């Protein structure tokens, strides 16, 4: 029978509940326990795929093609497991299931209500995930903050499960924020007290409180929180700001979290041993040799929009004992008469990440061309491949106004075009080419040198591809196609032979990169950046 850890949040959102959830998972996993994770998101979207990453953070793609909340990426990176569609539930999904059942007459004669029908559906999806993943422990993170109207059915479902599964099988962890008033330097516990009161009002008494704050809680802070919340002092834990989220498992374990969980959940377990994890993380956090990367995008694109790319770069840096410094370059500033393209000479490598739509694309095309002619390592991710091909067509083949039909449907040289199966797609939710697909790698290419295999699997999220009508001319012009879909119908990787590192993928290698196991494309790219930097010194 699976045990459940329910993680709720208080005070404000965006305080790193996902990292704490992933960290708890990693700690338990290191004791030999089979852990899985589920994220519940209170919004009405059926999945995260239709949401704006600039506002909501990156859309993470699972191997099965699910477009999910970015926390699933955090869990995959902490636990080194592959999650799927059933690991992320939203209000939209829950209501859709219930309403479809209602239309089929499955509730005939009854009035369909939030309690019990919506809450029953939530409980059933949670239990289904635990079964499907064969988890000894399922950690369930409830998105949003206690007190949000839209999160209420989820919290109610968790409360009910606490009763139904029994005391030894469920534990509630509440994550809050303790602000520090700068002028007085005092850490305030009142918001934590209030958010626990709110939680108790709906019938949930937390067993563990984890307090995020700039610094560590003092004894007095913990005593006060304990007194006001009915949580024993040793279960009030501190999660101070850390240099890297990957340090959180160790920080929580030093405060004895695994013992609290084991005792309470009566779990049979081995010794908790984070040494392998800490060893990997040490290289990510402590490496000093710097490499400076230019990421070409829009300033508006928060760090969170490309969170997996940022992590993948750190993983590759760690594996090569280097610290990757990411510099955002506004792509529109590379365009026109006042172009800052020459500034790109200050960087060891250039990345054009994934994206949609036309604003700023000319700057990205210019950056791809700059990298090609100046022998600067270039990594293009999905859109970054497509724009590198456009740049190649324009500048090497002389196809003026070559473009992707996503940007210019009337272009005389549509070198990037809609995937054939996309031509009759009219709904936008979940209809891109998504998720893991097998890829064939051509021998005697850089891609083969990096992956060391002719068969790999990577994750996708796109509607456009290199137009097969232009394969011949692009290849004759010197562009190497080194990876293909397994039916050989689409190009997955491009590279240039006479260049230190010019590679781009139609897939998103960032989604499978893990600490200690960077994706080969990122590792190859960072290695090339290091080589360039060493030569320059
Ligand atoms: N907009 C491009 C497409 O749909 C690229 C997508 C992406 O970068 N994820 O194919």
- Considering the domain architecture, whether residues 360 and 493 belong to the same structural domain is answered as yes
With a CB cutoff of 8 Å and minimum separation 6, the contacts of 232 are 226
CA distance readout (Å), 454 to 261, 444, 449, 513: 44, 10, 10, 19
- Considering the domain architecture, whether residues 152 and 92 belong to the same structural domain is answered as yes
| pLDDT value, residue 299 | 65
For residue 299 and ligand 1, the question of a CB distance below 6 A is answered with no
For residue 419 and ligand 1, the question of a CB distance below 6 A is answered with no
Q: Residue 419 CA: which ligand 1 atom is closest?
A: 10
pTM for this structure? Answer: 0.94
CA of 387 to the centre of ligand 1 (A): 10
CA-proximal residue: ligand 1, atom 3 (nearest)? 462
Name the domain count of the chain.
2
For residue 17 and ligand 1, the question of a CB distance below 6 A is answered with no
- Considering the domain architecture, whether residues 255 and 108 belong to the same structural domain is answered as yes
Helix (H, G, I), strand (E, B) or coil at 21: helix
CA of 119 to the centre of ligand 1 (A): 37
CA-proximal residue: ligand 1, atom 5 (nearest)? 383
For residue 356 and ligand 1, the question of a CB distance below 6 A is answered with yes
For residue 461 and ligand 1, the question of a CB distance below 6 A is answered with yes
For residue 394 and ligand 1, the question of a CB distance below 6 A is answered with no
CA-proximal residue: ligand 1, atom 6 (nearest)? 462
CA of 507 to the centre of ligand 1 (A): 9
CA-proximal residue: ligand 1, atom 1 (nearest)? 356
Pick from 410, 413, 407, 409: which is nearest to 395 by CA?
413
Is residue 490 in a domain?
yes
Q: Which sign, positive or negative, has the C-alpha torsion 405, 408, 409, 414?
A: negative
- Considering the domain architecture, whether residues 194 and 327 belong to the same structural domain is answered as no
Is residue 25 in a domain?
yes
Is residue 84 in a domain?
yes
| 382 noted as active-site residue | yes
State the chain's maximal CA–CA distance in angstroms.
78
Q: Which of 383, 414, 491 to mutate to test the pocket of ligand 1 (most atoms within 8 A of CB)?
A: 383
- What pairs with residue 433 in β-bridges? 462
CA distance readout (Å), 477 to 148, 399, 400, 492, 509: 57, 12, 15, 18, 26
Is residue 405 in a domain?
yes
Q: Tell me the C-alpha distance between 86 and 55, whole Å.
A: 24
CA distance readout (Å), 471 to 445, 463, 465, 490: 17, 18, 11, 10
CA of 505 to the centre of ligand 1 (A): 11
Q: What's the number of CA atoms in the CB half-sphere (13 Å) around residue 284?
A: 22
Is residue 476 in a domain?
yes
Which position has the token pair 């009854």?
A: 110
With a CB cutoff of 8 Å and minimum separation 6, the contacts of 264 are 168, 171, 207
For residue 464 and ligand 1, the question of a CB distance below 6 A is answered with yes
For residue 22 and ligand 1, the question of a CB distance below 6 A is answered with no
Per-residue DSSP letter, 417: E
Is residue 109 in a domain?
yes
For residue 380 and ligand 1, the question of a CB distance below 6 A is answered with no
Q: Which of 331, 387, 463, 505 to mutate to test the pocket of ligand 1 (most atoms within 8 A of CB)?
A: 463
Cβ–Cβ under 8 Å, residues 377 and 384? no
- What pairs with residue 35 in β-bridges? 137
| 510 noted as active-site residue | yes
CA-proximal residue: ligand 1, atom 7 (nearest)? 354
| 437 noted as active-site residue | no
Cβ–Cβ under 8 Å, residues 114 and 82? no
Is residue 89 in a domain?
yes
Which position has the token pair 């360039």?
A: 532
- Considering the domain architecture, whether residues 169 and 268 belong to the same structural domain is answered as yes
Cβ–Cβ under 8 Å, residues 393 and 413? yes
CA of 497 to the centre of ligand 1 (A): 25
| pLDDT value, residue 181 | 86
For residue 354 and ligand 1, the question of a CB distance below 6 A is answered with yes
| pLDDT value, residue 536 | 83
- Considering the domain architecture, whether residues 321 and 242 belong to the same structural domain is answered as no
- Considering the domain architecture, whether residues 220 and 329 belong to the same structural domain is answered as no
CA-based angle 72:74:78, to the nearest 5?
120
- Considering the domain architecture, whether residues 359 and 426 belong to the same structural domain is answered as yes
Is residue 283 in a domain?
no
What CATH number corresponds to the domain at position 381?
3.40.50.880
| Active-site hit among 382, 460, 495, 529 | 382
What CATH number corresponds to the domain at position 96?
3.40.50.300
Q: Which of 248, 278, 308 is the last residue of a domain?
A: 278
Q: What's the number of CA atoms in the CB half-sphere (13 Å) around residue 38?
A: 28
- Considering the domain architecture, whether residues 323 and 194 belong to the same structural domain is answered as no
Q: Tell me the C-alpha distance between 391 and 373, whole Å.
A: 11
For residue 353 and ligand 1, the question of a CB distance below 6 A is answered with no
For residue 384 and ligand 1, the question of a CB distance below 6 A is answered with no
Q: Which of 278, 310, 344 is the last residue of a domain?
A: 278
- Considering the domain architecture, whether residues 176 and 293 belong to the same structural domain is answered as no
CA-proximal residue: ligand 1, atom 8 (nearest)? 354
- Considering the domain architecture, whether residues 420 and 315 belong to the same structural domain is answered as yes
CA of 390 to the centre of ligand 1 (A): 14
- Considering the domain architecture, whether residues 272 and 314 belong to the same structural domain is answered as no
Q: Which of 245, 278, 311 is the last residue of a domain?
A: 278
CA of 51 to the centre of ligand 1 (A): 15
E strands in 159-235: 170-177, 180-181, 186-187, 208-213
Pick from 153, 148, 88, 90: which is nearest to 116 by CA?
153
For residue 159 and ligand 1, the question of a CB distance below 6 A is answered with no
Domain coverage including residue 466 = 288-536
The per-residue b/e assignment along 403-419, b for 16 or more CB within 10 angstroms, e otherwise, is bbebbbeebebbbbbbe
For residue 428 and ligand 1, the question of a CB distance below 6 A is answered with no
Q: Which of 354, 379, 416 to mutate to test the pocket of ligand 1 (most atoms within 8 A of CB)?
A: 354
Q: What is the pLDDT along the chain (537 residues), one digit of tens a residue?
A: 999 999 999 988 888 999 999 999 999 999 999 999 999 999 999 988 888 887 778 999 999 999 999 999 999 999 999 999 999 999 999 999 999 999 999 998 899 999 999 999 999 999 999 999 999 999 999 999 999 999 999 999 999 999 999 999 999 999 999 999 888 888 999 999 999 999 999 999 999 999 999 999 999 999 999 999 999 999 999 999 999 999 999 999 999 999 999 999 999 888 889 999 999 999 999 999 999 999 998 766 666 789 999 999 999 999 999 999 999 999 999 998 888 999 999 999 999 999 988 888 999 999 999 999 999 999 999 999 999 999 999 999 999 999 999 999 999 999 999 988 888 888 888 888 999 999 999 999 999 999 999 999 999 999 999 999 999 999 999 999 999 999 999 999 999 999 999 999 999 999 999 999 999 999 999 999 999 999 887
């Amino acid at each position: 029978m699976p045990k459940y850890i329910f993680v709720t949040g208080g005070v404000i959102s965006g305080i790193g509940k996902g990292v704490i959830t992933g960290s708890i998972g990693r700690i338990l996993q290191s004791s030999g326990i089979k852990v899985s994770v589920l994220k519940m998101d209170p919004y009405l979207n059926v999945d995260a795929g239709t949401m704006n990453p600039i506002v909501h953070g990156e859309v993470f793609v699972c191997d099965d093609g699910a477009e999910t909340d970015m926390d699933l990426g955090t869990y995959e990176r902490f636990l080194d497991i592959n999650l799927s569609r059933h690991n992320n539930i939203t209000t939209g999904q829950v209501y859709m299931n219930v309403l479809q059942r209602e239309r089929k007459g499955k509730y005939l004669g009854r009035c369909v209500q939030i309690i019990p029908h919506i809450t029953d559906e939530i409980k059933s999806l949670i239990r289904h995930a635990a079964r499907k993943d064969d988890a000894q422990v399922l950690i369930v993170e409830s998105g949003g903050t206690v007190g949000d109207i839209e999160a209420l059915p989820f919290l109610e479902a968790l409360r009910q499960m606490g009763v139904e599964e029994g005391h030894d099988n469920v534990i509630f962890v509440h994550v809050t924020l303790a602000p520090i008033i700068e002028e007085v330097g005092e850490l305030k516990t009142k918001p934590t007290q209030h958010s626990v009161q709110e939680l108790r009002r709906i019938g949930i008494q937390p067993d563990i409180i984890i307090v995020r704050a700039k610094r560590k809680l003092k004894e007095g802070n913990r005593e006060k929180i304990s007194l006001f919340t009915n949580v024993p002092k040793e279960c009030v834990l501190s999660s101070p700001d850390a240099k890297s989220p990957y340090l959180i498992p160790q920080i929580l374990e030093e405060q004895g979290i695994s013992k609290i969980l084991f005792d309470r959940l009566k779990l049979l377990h081995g010794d908790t041993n984070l040494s392998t994890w800490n060893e990997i993380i040490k290289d990510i956090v402590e490496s000093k040799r710097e490499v400076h990367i230019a990421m070409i995008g829009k300033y508006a694109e928060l760090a969170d929009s490309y969170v997996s790319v940022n992590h993948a770069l750190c993983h590759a840096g760690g594996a090569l004992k280097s610290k990757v410094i990411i510099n955002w370059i506004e792509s529109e500033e590379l365009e026109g008469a006042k172009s800052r393209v020459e500034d790109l000479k200050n960087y060891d490598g250039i990345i054009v990440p994934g994206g949609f739509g036309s604003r700023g694309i000319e700057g990205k095309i210019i950056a791809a061309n700059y990298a090609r002619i100046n022998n600067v390592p270039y990594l293009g991710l999905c859109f970054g491949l497509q724009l590198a091909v456009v740049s190649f067509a324009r500048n090497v083949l002389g196809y003026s106004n070559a473009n992707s039909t996503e940007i210019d449907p009337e272009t005389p040289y549509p070198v990037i075009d809609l995937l054939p199966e996309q031509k009759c797609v009219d709904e936008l939710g979940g209809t891109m080419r998504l998720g893991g697909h097998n890829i064939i790698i051509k021998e005697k290419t850089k891609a083969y040198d990096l992956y060391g295999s002719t068969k790999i699997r990577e994750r996708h999220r796109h509607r456009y591809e290199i137009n097969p009508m232009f394969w011949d001319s692009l290849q004759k012009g010197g562009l190497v196609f080194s990876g293909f879909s397994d039916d050989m119908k689409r190009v997955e990787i491009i590279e240039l032979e006479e260049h230190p590192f010019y590679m781009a993928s139609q897939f998103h290698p960032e989604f499978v990169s893990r600490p200690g196991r960077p994706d080969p494309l990122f590792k190859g790219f960072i290695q090339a950046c290091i080589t360039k930097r060493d030569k320059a010194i």
